[in-house]
Amino acid sequence: MIGGGFGGLYATRELGKGRDLVDVTLVDRRNHHLFQPLLYQVATGALSPGDIAQPLRSIFRRQRNTTVLLGEAVGLDADGRQVLMSDGGPIPYDTLIVATGAHHQYFGHDEWMPNAPGLKTVDDATEMRRRILIAFEAAEREARPDVRRAWMTFVIVGGGPTGVELAGALGEIANDTLRADFRSIRPPDARIHLVEAMDRILPTYPPDRSRSATRQLERLGVTVRTGTRVVHVDDGCVRVEPAAGDGETEEIPTRTVLWAAGVLASSFGRRVADATGAETDRSGRILVEPDLTVPGHPEIFVVGDAAVQPWKPDRAVPGVAQGGIQGGKHAGATVLRRLRGEATPPFRFSDRGDVAVIGRLSGVTNIGWLGPFGRQGGLLAWMLWLGIHIVYLIGFANRIVVVVRWAWSFLTRGRSTRLITGSPLLPPIEEPEPPA
Amino acid sequence: MIGGGFGGLYATRELGKGRDLVDVTLVDRRNHHLFQPLLYQVATGALSPGDIAQPLRSIFRRQRNTTVLLGEAVGLDADGRQVLMSDGGPIPYDTLIVATGAHHQYFGHDEWMPNAPGLKTVDDATEMRRRILIAFEAAEREARPDVRRAWMTFVIVGGGPTGVELAGALGEIANDTLRADFRSIRPPDARIHLVEAMDRILPTYPPDRSRSATRQLERLGVTVRTGTRVVHVDDGCVRVEPAAGDGETEEIPTRTVLWAAGVLASSFGRRVADATGAETDRSGRILVEPDLTVPGHPEIFVVGDAAVQPWKPDRAVPGVAQGGIQGGKHAGATVLRRLRGEATPPFRFSDRGDVAVIGRLSGVTNIGWLGPFGRQGGLLAWMLWLGIHIVYLIGFANRIVVVVRWAWSFLTRGRSTRLITGSPLLPPIEEPEPPA
């Protein structure tokens, strides 16, 4: 088992039911399972990293057939059935479940990365939080109007759920959380641009949900720019042009770009494709068989964002937590069924629906099985979102702490974990000027 | 006002009462006030950084005569009455309150620092947490008994409250928290050495309290080595010798050294001494007048750990939170009294007593004004400690979250925020060996 995200976690849990049949080794580079759907709340200071992460060892402490190994898988010897590690000897396997996920990509412009951090790990989130908070601090100290305006301008690239939730949280920070905290700037004056190349945000939702999300974001002061493509990023500006390619380039002066676009399978997933000759999609995700195994390698499962998990004839499972959870459960159950000599049905994705939250008391849902009731905007979406996220959060103490923090934020419009950590502590000032 | 620790926070609060008399600028390098007495709990995974920190801006949001400035003070122009900043122009003042604190020192061996991190900031605490958790992970993967033993050996240098509380927390982690989490190692086999050069730990407490703390630590498996001096630290061992200097050097192979010894005034405090010609003690702390001002500079107050605050004829105020809180309050009140033309009494420290906690359900207290009742060990000390820390913690949401986490840890013997963040993710393995 490679990867301790949703896919790896639920596959390992499933395999724990076959104590007499299997021994499980769960390998991850990190010592914790991270509840990624709430990572943007760490990036925006509403939650602490510890609130949404749980050590893998303590999750599987009582599952005696399971060993957790902190290590980095860097290669696959598919014929010899062993995983190569960056440190330490190879790990042999009878069955391999690959759940190494995906991260953002910069469409061939990796040089944008230093100025446009993505959001996949705890360290990413604390770095994003640092940049957001530093921007307001720098604007407060800055006397020149144009430089101040660049510090007060935020560009979020990517209109999927992460980008939408980040934009909503930023709007809330500017309008509510920081409203009274500064003396020289008015945080509600911040400009927040959400840039999406497709013609609408939340493209996996029905069009009316996208419209509802756009309206709710605009109420928070977010400028939603669909059909717009980023063509350049540096430390002072973002250049965009119409995605159709027939318009003029526009320059947005900004010091803070947050990246939430593109999908690229993790490097171990791509190694698996190389080692097995499996086909991948443009994002490097492996095209798996209906039972989630690699073609020609029934002993290798690929689940979650590392795979293109089959769903409808014209559509794969979207890259959401449910995909990993259900893929992982399926792989684990299939392994046990095989060992028991039972029939192994193909993977069937059951769409539980999507919820995205947009600031305080609002959001959008798209929950097919609830019928018309499943298409909510505003308060009801927000409440559904709360409930779902608390149920799926791993770790009972975390659930209580998150409820306390949310309740507190809700009542006070505050965010309790607005720490700037790491270096540099302060943004550089090019031409120091005496304070007014 | 320079510094947002206890001294600066309480001085600023006090000055908030004189809205019509003063304008306050609070300068800190960090955007948050940190509740340092609980920092060791972050280092040992019991609390999240966000639980014990509060943004200075939100603390003083409603105090309209107060401006918070994120910036680094690097020098003092005492004649021109302005503070020089590393970035941006100088800040003029009528009255300056210096509350920049102190940190650990390596007694002239700064080369030990990379292998023996101290504990003063949030980043220090997450780094210490990373090292402690990585050590157990590395031991789990390591087959060679001697290397494994070095990973399972922890040396804490300094037997003051921080060192004692760290040692107690480590003992608890090894004996309780991680007991069932590993498959190849037994965490209770960890060796924890607490090294102190004086002849007893907690030297500011009465001798019988030191003995009680030693007994409690030994019950947690900690080896308390008093009268012992560290003479060398590198990435594989610590060398110690008897502090009396007449014994043999001993080598302790270890991969994890935690530093909690020595006191050195922060660099801005030393700049103030240079600029005013004020005398300092060996740690660089300024010898202040009975009213906490710098001799010859009644407009400059130095409070908390940056100063040697007078107390008894033969003793200064110890470097604890109470010293900063009371010094800060005194300085703020004195400024207001002067402006109102009132008499300004000298600083009088009121000893509220000390409490240190040692693992689960135990600790020591030394509270003079409670008489014999003030000298507790064990459960009662632990309960007193809980109460005091919760009362002084800034931020209501933080108080609730800390209570929840403590209650949860108490019931489950777990620690909810055991994350390894930052890099390197994994310790190097010199000679990789295949797993058994």
Tokens linked to A72: 């980095």
Of the residues A182, A185, A421, the best mutation for testing chain B's interface (the one with the most B CB atoms within 10 Å of its CB) is A421
Residues of B (27-46) whose Cβ lies below 8 Å from A: 29-32
Cβ atoms of A101 and A5 closer than 8 Å: yes
Query: What count of other Cβ atoms lies within 10 Å of the Cβ of residue B407?
Result: 12
CB neighbour list of residue B83: distance below 8 Å, 6 or more residues apart: B2, B27, B73, B75, B76, B77, B90, B91, B93, B96
CB neighbour list of residue B105: distance below 8 Å, 6 or more residues apart: B261, B262, B263, B264, B283
d(CA A75, CA A268): 7
Helix (H, G, I), strand (E, B) or coil at B403: helix
What DSSP state is assigned to residue A345? P
> pTM (2 decimals)?
0.84
Q: How far does CA A435 lie from the centroid of its chain?
A: 40
What does the pLDDT look like over B317-348, one tens digit per residue?
Answer: 888 888 999 999 999 999 999 999 999 999 99
Q: How far does CA A423 lie from the centroid of its chain?
A: 24
d(CA B285, CA B182): 46
Q: Is A417 on the interface with B (CB under 8 A)?
A: yes
Q: Where are the beta strands (DSSP E) in B144-278?
A: 153-157, 191-195, 222-225, 228-233, 237-242, 250-253, 256-259, 264-265
| Architecture of the structural domain at A6-29+71-104+264-339 | 3-Layer(bba) Sandwich (3.50)
What does the pLDDT look like over B63-100, one tens digit per residue?
Answer: 989 999 988 999 999 999 999 998 778 999 999 999 99
Tell me the CA distances in angstroms from B299 to A324, B23, B94, B278, one per residue in order. Answer: 63, 15, 7, 14
Q: How many CB pairs under 8 A join A and B?
A: 184
Catalytic residue among A165, A172, A196, A279: A165
Domain boundaries, chain A: 6-29+71-104+264-339, 110-260
Which fold, A110-260?
Answer: FAD/NAD(P)-binding domain (3.50.50)
Using CB atoms, pick whichever of B67, B88, B141 lies closest to residue A432. Answer: B88
Q: Is B141 on the interface with A (CB under 8 A)?
A: yes
Helix (H, G, I), strand (E, B) or coil at A52: helix
Domain B110-262 sits in CATH at: 3.50.50.100
ipTM: 0.77
**pLDDT (tens digit, 0 to 9) for every residue of chain B, 436 residues total?**
788 899 999 999 999 999 889 999 999 999 899 988 889 988 988 888 888 888 899 889 889 899 999 889 999 999 999 999 987 789 999 999 999 999 889 988 999 999 999 999 988 999 999 999 999 999 998 889 999 999 999 999 999 999 999 999 999 889 888 888 898 999 999 999 999 999 999 988 888 889 989 999 999 999 999 999 999 999 999 999 998 877 889 999 999 999 999 889 999 999 999 999 999 999 999 999 999 999 999 999 999 999 999 998 888 888 888 899 999 999 999 999 999 999 999 999 988 777 777 766 677 777 666 666 666 666 777 777 777 777 777 666 677 777 777 776 666 666 666 777 765 455 544 443 444 4
Look at A398 and B405 and tell me if their CB atoms are within 8 Å.
Answer: no
Query: What count of other Cβ atoms lies within 10 Å of the Cβ of residue B311?
Result: 16
Tell me the CA distances in angstroms from A333 to A8, A10, A297, one per residue in order. Answer: 13, 10, 17
Tokens linked to B318: 């110890």
Numbers of helices and strands, H then E, in chain B: 11, 25
Query: What count of other Cβ atoms lies within 10 Å of the Cβ of residue A221?
Result: 17
Q: Is A406 on the interface with B (CB under 8 A)?
A: no
Look at B434 and A89 and tell me if their CB atoms are within 8 Å.
Answer: yes
CB neighbour list of residue B162: distance below 8 Å, 6 or more residues apart: B40, B119, B260
Q: Is A67 on the interface with B (CB under 8 A)?
A: yes
Phi, psi of B154 (to 5 degrees): -120, 130
d(CA B262, CA B279): 19
